Amino acid sequence: MATSTTTVSTENGWKYLQQLCKHWSHKLEVELDEQNHKAVVKFPEATASMHSDASSLTVTIETEDAGKLETYQGVVSSHLDRFAFREAPLPFDWKAA
């Protein structure tokens, strides 16, 4: 299993997490936990787990195919930048987990 994580400093993490879930729920399986500010998005070849707090948004991507990890990092990053256009580009620093 290939895994990477990034934490982005933003006070709007919960807002962006909700927007991502709403956007992706049209085509993907999405689990949104509003009480704990968490979400899981199941892509065809990866899973993105997200958590927000008052100052950041953390995203962890897991995939069986290590070659797809960078692809899904790009998908998540580009979508977050689109929703966070007032703050974009966000500082993504993906680290292997």
Three-state SS for the chain is CEEEEEEEECCCHHHHHHHHHHHHCCCCEEEEECCCCEEEEECCCCEEEEEECCCEEEEEEEECCHHHHHHHHHHHHHHHHHHCCCCCCCCCCCEEC
pTM, two decimals, is: 0.94
Question: For residue 93, is it within any domain?
Answer: no
Q: Which residue has the tokens 């899973």?
A: 47
Q: Average pLDDT, stretch 65-87?
A: 95
Q: Average pLDDT, stretch 76-92?
A: 93
Return the CATH number at 50: 3.30.310.50
Question: For residue 21, is it within any domain?
Answer: yes
Question: For residue 25, is it within any domain?
Answer: yes
Residue type, 37: H
Which structural domain range is residue 52 located in?
2-85
Per-residue pLDDT of 64-74, as tens digits, reads: 999 999 999 99
Question: For residue 58, is it within any domain?
Answer: yes
**Is the CB of residue 60 less than 8 Å from the CB of residue 49?**
yes
**Is the CB of residue 2 less than 8 Å from the CB of residue 48?**
no
Question: For residue 94, is it within any domain?
Answer: no
